[in-house]
Chain A
Amino acid sequence: MGVLLLKQANRVLSTYAADVSGVCSALYELGGMTVMHDASGCNSTYSTHDEPRWYDTDSLVFLSALTEVNAVMGADDKLIADVTETALSLRPKFIALAGSPIPMITGVDLPGVARVIEEKTGIPAFGFNTNGMHSYLPGVSRALAAVAERFCGPCERDAAPSVNILGATPLDLSVTGTAEALRGAFEARGIRVNSCWAMGSSLDELAGAARARVNAVVSSSGLAAAGVLRRRFGTPYVVGLPFGAAFSDAYFGALREAAASGENRSPARTDAGEGGAPIFLIGEAVYMTSLRAALRAMGRKNVRVLCPLECSDGLLSPDDLAVSAEEDIREALRDARLVIADPMYAPVLPGAAELIALPHEAYSGRIYRRQIPVLVGSALDEWIEEKRK
């Protein structure tokens, strides 16, 4: 039995939202039309488990309803005709196509299809070669980077402090108040939120991203867009989330430094700290390294991040682990005494370990949504205090 196979079999663990959902989630509020090129299933999975806004916000997210015959015959004209007809009727601000496993196997050129659709409709169109075999993070990342490339133009830079929040989707932040708390935290420090990519802002607001003096990358899916905005407009970025009162001071200090110097900053990049039984944080890299930085600022030691998702270089410290296979996670947690993670990781914890539940929408979907806390600013301190009881 090969090691490779061991890493692809999950006996008890869940799975993260996929790249195609990431594209849909990132573009959800921007007035476009996103089409998942798939037979069936992607749409109900996305709308049920990955998209908490589905019931209340009528975003144009559809399925191409690919059939075997059309896949085998390479009938891209059917996709083009259906998307064109619907787009001309609904007049979205843009069109996005996101692929799934079978279009990958049959080699559908979605960027090429998008160019044809754009010519036919006059509506900006993107094709993302997602395939359902990666997590949501590359999907969000590519969608936001495409917006930054295509829609953002030069603007007069704000004189006063201002920020774009990059990489904010319900998959990482849910809809329990974190996005609003983030805005509030910036505003409370006199920093105007120019736009939030992409919760609570319009496409026009995103298009004016160059006005902001600095970009705040709040998940690893915001890094690519930050890179584009850096290249195109020279805007520096700061990576992290302002969790906990103590770390928030450091975070906003870094933000001011970045704005002043034009250099990027990563205030969440800290080491695990030596001493004591290990505390493991499982989840998305920016979120969890920020939580680690906050815990370290509160005096905790030996706090290690276990990232089961795609992770850009430089986000994790050498003490951290980037593993995703169930057996690897079990092994990594062998000596853990305290684990902060989504409750669906509970089955792989050693018997002696305590779990502090920190549900992650991209992992457990809507199941534990009501328990997803807001950790921005001093809310983390209160959450920790509550967990101590």
Chain B
Amino acid sequence: MIDLRKTDPGVTIAEAAFPAPFAGTLEYASPARGPWNIVHVGMLIPESRQIFACAEGCLRGVVLTAAEMGAMDRFSTVAIEEHDVLDGDFEEMLVDGVSDILNGLQEKPRAVLLFTSCIHHFVACDLGYVYGTLRRRFPDVDFTDCYMTPILRQTSSPDALMRRQLYAALRPMAPDPHRANFIGGATSPAASCDLREIFASAGWTVGDITECKTYDEYLAMAKASLNVTMIPSAKPAGEELERRLGQRHLYLPVSYDYNEIDTLLCALTEAIGAPVPDTRAKREAAETALRQARGTLGGMPVALDYTATTRPLGLARLLLEHGFTVSDVYADGFTADERADFDWLRERVPSLRVRPTVHPAMRVQPRDHTETLAVGQKAAYFTGTNHFVNLVEGGADGAGLWGYDGVARLASLMADAARTEQDTRSIISVKGWGCCC
């Protein structure tokens, strides 16, 4: 038997399978807590209330998520107990439990996100009856069916499902031909983002749920004639809105490949009737920022992880092509968008190390690569470094990074991180970075 205490569970990218480089086994949860969970995402709907119906053990994490973000005034629970499983009265319990909560509130919320759990799925709870009854009983409240069903994660990504249901309350409105939305991201693209510039040049306004202050502002997102998604887990939301509201959907994924960025920008200009932008200056600015960052790092190894960006392999490729030393990519799997970069890295940098984050051996691996620069919280934790870019889901300092502007900003953040140490522990311990901090 292999001694996991002495064995790196990582593989070289030449040895790695795509899209799942590691076999499934027991899992470890590292203390990096920055990525948003379903509570953080759901709270983006202003004037809404979340009600979770599940066992005490499952409630604990979501209740304290809400508490830590200071949102307990928008959060309630219905606890499932053993006798419920035996009694089989889940529909009645949900209807009466939710009714009880709403009747006891001084002011009804505009919307309720009702989260059912794995148990409801296993006992075939009639959710159609539940929501139908609740909607009749509370006609002024918009109910959205939400799900905390991690047992279904292999067939339905909980994250993608949540981002899709986030917009389920939008109803058809007269479309505004010059209005668009960014859909599904936890962080709105930076003001200087290439996409925003193109929208502005064509006289379009762009909404984002992260900027909505009222429920009516949220509902007004239905006026948009175009929705843009940028991460794979937001794609189903864009597709669903296109199907349901007729809003055109454009998937413009985060990319670190200049040619791909140009192609994506062209796709947007074509969609909104804007002139094709001259990106030479932006490309040069990104190149300059990368050169400066490389000089600042001075050979310092870089480790990346999948929580920082949905395309860690694409970022690794960009950095390697620009003379950086990339030591490790921490990822348990890859998205389909990563295929081309995976193949490129396999061929050109076969020794690049891919390391898991949930494999049990990661619990006992040394975390003493303190002179590494990490991009992402998990990479920071596993290397033990205090030189890190706190990039979560592609966003940093409250702004989403995309395109040339994103590359330049990221390079600048890397240079800052190389120069300055941070308190990694205190930063990565915060749950849902950016939702309230």
Contacts and interface: CB of A to CB of B under 8 A. Distances in A.
Most buried by B among A9, A35, A104: A9
A8 B55 CA distance: 10
Contact of A101 (B26, B58, B425): B58
Given A10-B77, A60-B360, A90-B360, A5 B93 contact: yes
Contacts of A104: 82, 85
Contacts of B429: 55
Contact of A11 (B26, B76, B123): B76
A6 B105 CA distance: 14
A8 B78 contact: yes
A63 to B, nearest CB: 4
Contacts of B4: 86, 89-90
A81 to B, nearest CB: 9
A62 B26 contact: yes
Q: How large is the interface on A (under 10, 10 to 19, 20 to 34, 35 or more residues)?
A: 35 or more
A85 B58 contact: no
Contacts of A132: 55-58
Given A41-B150, A62-B26, A367-B64, A101 B80 contact: yes
A332 B9 CA distance: 55
Contacts of B155: 68
A71 B27 contact: no
A367 B68 CA distance: 7
B76 A105 contact: no
A335 to B, nearest CB: 21
A250 interface: no
A220 interface: no
Contact of A85 (B25, B31, B76, B101): B25
Contact of A48 (B33, B150, B154): B33
B56 A135 contact: yes
Given A39-B151, A55-B31, A68-B155, A364 B64 contact: yes
Contacts of B68: 365, 367
A215 to B, nearest CB: 29
Contact of A47 (B31, B78, B79): B31
Interface stretch (A18-26, A153-161, A192-200): A18-26
Interface in B94-125: 96-101, 104-105, 117-119, 122-123
Nearest to B49: A11
Contacts of A54: 31
A352 interface: no
Contacts of B425: 55
A82 B100 contact: no
Given A60-B363, A82-B26, A365-B64, A2 B3 contact: no
A15 B76 contact: no
A48 B33 CA distance: 8
Given A9-B101, A102-B151, A367-B67, A16 B56 contact: yes
A42 B28 CA distance: 11
A82 B25 contact: yes
A90 B364 contact: yes
B119 A105 contact: yes
A91 B3 CA distance: 9
Nearest to B3: A89
Contacts, number: 203
B97 to A, nearest CB: 4
Contacts of A21: 57, 60
A83 B26 contact: yes
Contact of B105 (A11, A58, A63): A11
Contacts of A202: none
A382 to B, nearest CB: 29
B28 A62 contact: yes
Contacts of B72: 12, 14, 344, 347
B151 A16 contact: no
Given A15-B77, A45-B61, A60-B360, A67 B154 contact: yes
Interface in B138-156: 148, 150-155
B278 interface: no
A18 B372 CA distance: 38
B151 A67 contact: yes
A40 B153 contact: yes
A106 B119 CA distance: 10
A64 interface: yes
Contacts of B93: 5, 8
A230 to B, nearest CB: 29
A40 B77 CA distance: 19
B63 interface: yes
B135 interface: no
B163 interface: no
Nearest to A60: B363
Contacts of A83: 26
B263 to A, nearest CB: 36
A284 to B, nearest CB: 15
A18 B29 contact: no
Given A19-B57, A68-B154, 19 more contacts: A1-B96, A6-B100, A8-B80, A9-B100, A12-B73, A14-B64, A20-B57, A21-B57, A40-B27, A45-B57, A45-B58, A55-B31, A61-B28, A65-B24, A86-B26, A89-B3, A101-B118, A102-B118, A132-B55
The 8 A-B pairs with the shortest beta carbon distances in the complex, nearest first, are: A132-B57, A18-B57, A45-B61, A40-B150, A39-B151, A62-B26, A89-B4, A43-B29
Interface of B: 1-5, 24-29, 31, 33, 54-61, 63-64, 67-68, 72-73, 76-82, 84-85, 92-93, 96-101, 104-105, 117-119, 122-123, 148, 150-155, 358, 360-361, 363-364, 425, 429, 431
14 contacts: A1-B96, A5-B93, A9-B78, A10-B76, A21-B60, A40-B27, A50-B60, A54-B31, A62-B360, A89-B360, A90-B4, A101-B119, A131-B82, A133-B57
Interface of A: 1-2, 5-6, 8-12, 14-21, 35, 39-50, 54-55, 58, 60-69, 71, 82-83, 85-86, 88-91, 100-102, 104-106, 131-135, 344, 347, 364-365, 367
